[in-house]
């Protein structure tokens, strides 16, 4: 009885764990966050995230002979066909979507495009998502940490190098004292030079 109860309680956890990875089943794409893309669905695009307004994660298929994806900003895509689901590695999934785009000016155009859907859905490296979905479907994505630039530090002064420095200063002071005794320096000049040497330690 305990085993049966354990299996019943474990089943939902197993199914949730299985659904964590994106998959493509029966003409429906299931994203990591639980968002579904299927034939007949309308997708709401946001803005392209490149500086020029192009989409980084949504590209026209080469057969369309165009790359001006900025025209798709804030458009609606009616999905007609999904195919070529690929896992390109490191949380980078791709699918080909064909359908009709209604542009923001109301004009309709056929589209055949590739979408890196996980990156298009979620915020990536501080940029907003290119595909508009409800917050509940957005998988948390952490920004790529930027490498820290370390400040150059001078090596700590060793006891030995400190002792040598003191000996050199003492030697310089002795030379100054000899010049003072010989009458080459006044007492004020000797004291001023001596102070400078001591301050540099």
- How do residues 45-94 score in pLDDT, each as one tens digit? 998 888 778 888 899 998 898 888 988 999 999 999 999 998 877 778 89
Task: Give how many domains the chain has, as a whole number.
Answer: 2
Whether 177 and 166 have beta carbons less than 8 Å apart is answered as no
Hey, which residues does 113 pair with through a beta bridge? 60, 97
Give the closest residue to 110 by CA, choosing from 83, 73, 68, 77.
Answer: 77
Classify residue 104: in a domain, yes or no: yes
Is-above-0.85 flag for pTM? no
C-alpha dihedral (116, 120, 121, 127), degrees to nearest 10: 140
Same domain (yes/no): 72, 170: no
Quick check: 13 pLDDT over 60?
Answer: no
Same domain (yes/no): 111, 185: no
Strands (E), the chain: 23-25, 28-30, 36-38, 42-45, 58-60, 76-87, 93-102, 108-115, 131-132
Classify residue 152: in a domain, yes or no: no
Same domain (yes/no): 179, 128: no
Same domain (yes/no): 167, 110: no
Least reliable range by pLDDT among 30-34, 105-109, 132-136, 167-171: 167-171
pLDDT for the residue 148: 56
Give the closest residue to 97 by CA, choosing from 135, 33, 43.
Answer: 43
Q: Which domain range does residue 44 map to? A: 22-137
- Phi/psi of residue 7, nearest 5 degrees: -65, -45
Same domain (yes/no): 35, 74: yes
Same domain (yes/no): 74, 119: yes
Same domain (yes/no): 76, 111: yes
Same domain (yes/no): 35, 101: yes
Same domain (yes/no): 194, 130: no
H helix or E strand, kind and range, residue 160? helix 159-182
Classify residue 144: in a domain, yes or no: no
Quick check: 8 pLDDT over 90?
Answer: no
Same domain (yes/no): 84, 163: no
Same domain (yes/no): 126, 165: no
């Amino acid at each position: 009885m305990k085993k049966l109860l354990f299996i019943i309680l474990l089943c939902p956890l197993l199914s949730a764990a299985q659904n964590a990875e994106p998959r493509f089943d029966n003409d429906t794409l299931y994203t990591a966050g639980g968002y579904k893309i299927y034939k007949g669905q309308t997708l709401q695009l946001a803005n392209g995230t490149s500086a020029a307004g192009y989409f980084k994660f949504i590209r026209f298929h080469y057969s369309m002979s165009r790359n001006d994806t900025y025209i798709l900003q804030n458009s609606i895509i009616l999905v007609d066909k999904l195919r070529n689901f690929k896992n390109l590695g490191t949380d980078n999934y791709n699918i080909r979507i064909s359908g009709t785009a209604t542009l923001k000016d109301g004009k309709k155009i056929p589209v055949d495009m590739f979408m890196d859907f996980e990156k298009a859905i979620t915020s990536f490296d501080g940029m907003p998502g290119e595909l508009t979905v409800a917050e509940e479907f957005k998988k948390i994505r952490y920004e790529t940490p930027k490498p820290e630039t370390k400040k150059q530090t001078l090596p700590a002064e060793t006891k030995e190098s400190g002792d040598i420095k003191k000996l050199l200063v003492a030697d310089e002071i002795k030379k100054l004292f000899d010049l003072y005794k010989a009458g080459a320096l006044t007492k004020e000049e000797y004291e001023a030079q001596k102070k400078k040497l001591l301050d540099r330690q």
